[in-house]
Amino acid sequence: MTTVGEFMTTRLVTMDGNATLVEAAQEMRDSAIGDVVVMDGDNVAGIITDRDITVRGVAENMPPDTTRLNQVTTRDVVTVSQYDDAVAAADLMRTYAVRRLPVIEDGRLIGLVSMGDLAVEREPQSVLADISADDPNN
């Protein structure tokens, strides 16, 4: 059995829910990532993606320089443990139609597993794995 902990990302970028959309977008740009885990203290409050900023924020005419992450963050995040089976994690992504799962251990965020991580691990010859393993093009 391959576990989530064997290939999860531990290079995490987190932000407080009071940060603005502009701050999150700049962090994503600077870190070459497409998502930020939104925190409320030590607890995961949600996840915001570059698509969330665009669709839930900008497209709804919310001013990005004053709109807070808490206003557009995806809440009720599905999480996994580093000891969970990778296939079970993929099934959770399919069931909940999500592309990322925070990895929690003893109530603490320790990693993030994405659909791309699973593809690289489980189907290295797939197009998704090829794209996910490549350097960002931004």
Q: Give yes or no for a contact between 53 and 68, defined as CB atoms under 8 angstroms apart.
A: no
In terms of pLDDT, which residue wins out, 138 or 73? Answer: 73
- CATH number of the domain that residue 69 is part of: 3.10.580.10
- In the predicted structure, residue 128 carries a pLDDT above the cut 60: no
Residue 40 confidence (pLDDT): 94
- In the predicted structure, residue 51 carries a pLDDT above the cut 90: yes
Number of domains in the chain: 1
pTM of the predicted model, to two decimals? 0.82
Nearest to 9 by CA among 94, 101, 77: 101
In a domain, 17, yes or no: yes
In a domain, 77, yes or no: yes
In terms of pLDDT, which residue wins out, 1 or 137? Answer: 1
Containing domain of residue 14, as a range? 4-133
pLDDT tens digits for 72-127? Answer: 998 889 999 999 998 899 889 989 989 899 999 999 999 999 888 776 555 544 33
In a domain, 15, yes or no: yes
Residue 123 confidence (pLDDT): 57
Please report the sign of the dihedral spanned by the C-alpha atoms of residue 27, residue 137, residue 80, residue 71: positive
DSSP string, 72-132: T-B-S---B-TTSBHHHHHHHHHHHT-SEEEEEETTEEEEEEEHHHHHHHH-TTSHHHHHH
Q: Give yes or no for a contact between 36 and 47, defined as CB atoms under 8 angstroms apart.
A: yes
In this prediction, residue 136 has a pLDDT band, given cuts at 50, 70 and 90, of: very low
In a domain, 138, yes or no: no
In a domain, 30, yes or no: yes
